[in-house]
Amino acid sequence: MPPFRRLAFVVNPDKPGAAELTQELMEIAGRAGVKQVKLNKGRKLPRGYFKGCDACCVVGGDGTLLGAVRDAARQGIPIIGVNRGSLGFLTTFSAEEARTKFGILLGGAYRLASRSLLECKIGPGRRDVALNDVLIKNEVNSRLVRLEVFADGELVTDYYCDGIIFSSPTGSTAYNLAAGGPIIHPDAPVIAMTPICPHTLSNRTIIFRDKVKLRIFNRTEDSRLLVAMDGQRNSVVTEASIEISLAPRRLLLAQGRDYSHFGVMRQKLKWSGGLTDKK
């Protein structure tokens, strides 16, 4: 793979050790031949921050990485995720792995994973993308909501529930999983729709094909909807409907050549089955 020569860092200074690790990685980058380095310590990325960069290195948790998704996808550059948070499904490099592998990764020893993004349209000219999920719920947390869902113009059903999670395969291990939805391989070209605490016990997750166009109508009287993109950006919606589909652009994640998706699942979700250590 081509080496990275112009690198942008995004660091969450609230994560213990993140600032110090970032300084170490910047020094490694210099020794690896990186010619241009940017560093952003704020919670909000400056407009055009990734312009002219080959890659972005995020040092923090999955939330920090999700905050960089829109701009990285827009510029078409990969994200290198270094975990200083808790679970770390997306920021797959540990601090020690980053210290030992960062130099060779920047030199070209990596592979790129291409991940689906969800596109959400709210009224004319308002659209956003999410890597994990789009949550639709009542603006007031304590109120139930009635949502009517159409797929390619055909009525699916109406839900009386706390909300609905629309998840990408990447986001299937996030809010979707916590709400009882399935784990989906990140390469599967699908969208998962999982109702939250539906008032009909037979309502379960529905998996839609990649080309589906979903449309959601608010059928709750005297209420407004809250639309949350990756848990990062919230919008209060007064429009009649919301549209969700897979976005035409995708997000690139730079991973080590030995990356194993199911290895990450076993580690993060503590899968063990009947396996025991043999001596």
Please tell me the distance from the alpha carbon of residue 90 to that of residue 60, in angstroms, as a whole number. Answer: 10
d(CA 231, CA 144): 19
Among the listed residues 62, 128, 133, 230, the single catalytic one is 62
The strands making up 118-122's β-sheet, listed across from edge to edge, are 127-130, 118-122, 241-246, 214-218, 145-151, 154-161
End-to-end CA distance of the chain: 40
Integer Rg of the chain from CA: 20
Known active-site residue 158: no
Q: What are the structure tokens assigned to 187, written together?
A: 């390469």
Distance (Å, rounded) from C-alpha 206 to C-alpha 191?
8
Catalytic positions, written as ranges: 62
